[in-house]
Amino acid sequence: MNDVRLIAVKEEIHADNARVAHDLRTRLATKKTFLLNVMASPGAGKTRTILATIEALRNQLRFGVLEADIDSKVDAEQIAAHGISAVQLHTGGLCHLDASMVAQGLAALDLDALDVVVIENVGNLVCPAEFDTGAHKNVMILSVPEGDDKPLKYPLMFSVSDALLINKIDYLVLSDFDVSALRQRVQRLNPRIHIFEISAKTGAGVEEWARWLHDEVRQSIAS
């Protein structure tokens, strides 16, 4: 298992997050590295989805992962156990990452050896949506057990996301989750969002989502 680097990230007081995020994207462009911000509530399946995505694209893209949590390094150790470069970010109680925190994590990775860095943001449907991390794309995961009403309760998260992964579709037969109603609610908030139905556990739908991500990465690298 790869060793996991642990970084206690500190928020820069009075930092201009928009400027830092812009500078970060500029730097990543010179490195030809794509930054993907993954947001979801605790238990939605972020880590398993990231692993399934990396497995689907392992022969095409080189991945690194920034794991953000208030405490512990369980998720980073799980990622590293699969031979993937991982850095654990401890937020010191903060419920989100911002661009300056992400920059601290990226400094611990060899960006020249990576095509994609995935941020697993802190599990929360509110705070992470409010901060630009410098990512090229924002992705949200919503699991079936959470219910189809979440766009009504947390509209900003759905509004800032470029893609929505409806995870744990293998639970649909056991629930009253209405996929059609969810799609309508999300698309009213964000008509440009891409929606994928997946099960990170069984692999259903992962190939289609991975194909979209691969295309986005290649377009970004080529530009």
99-106 and 17-31 are packed helices; what angle lies between their axes, rounded to 10 degrees?
A: 30
CATH code of the domain containing 186 = 3.40.50.300
The predicted structure's pLDDT at residue 154 = 97
Q: 3-class SS at 66?
A: strand
What's the sign of the alpha-carbon dihedral 180, 182, 185, 188?
negative
**Domain containing residue 55:** 5-222
**Average pLDDT of the chain to the nearest whole number:** 92
Name which residue leads in pLDDT, 15 or 81: 81
Count of structural domains, the chain: 1
- The closest of 194, 193, 190, 148 to 172, measured between CA atoms, is 148
49, β-bridge pairs: none
Whether pTM exceeds 0.85: yes
Span 130-151, pLDDT tens digits: 999 999 999 999 999 999 999 9
Span 67-108, pLDDT tens digits: 987 666 788 889 999 999 999 987 776 788 999 999 999 999
Residue 180, C-beta contacts closer than 8 angstroms, at least 6 positions apart: none
The predicted structure's pLDDT at residue 13 = 46
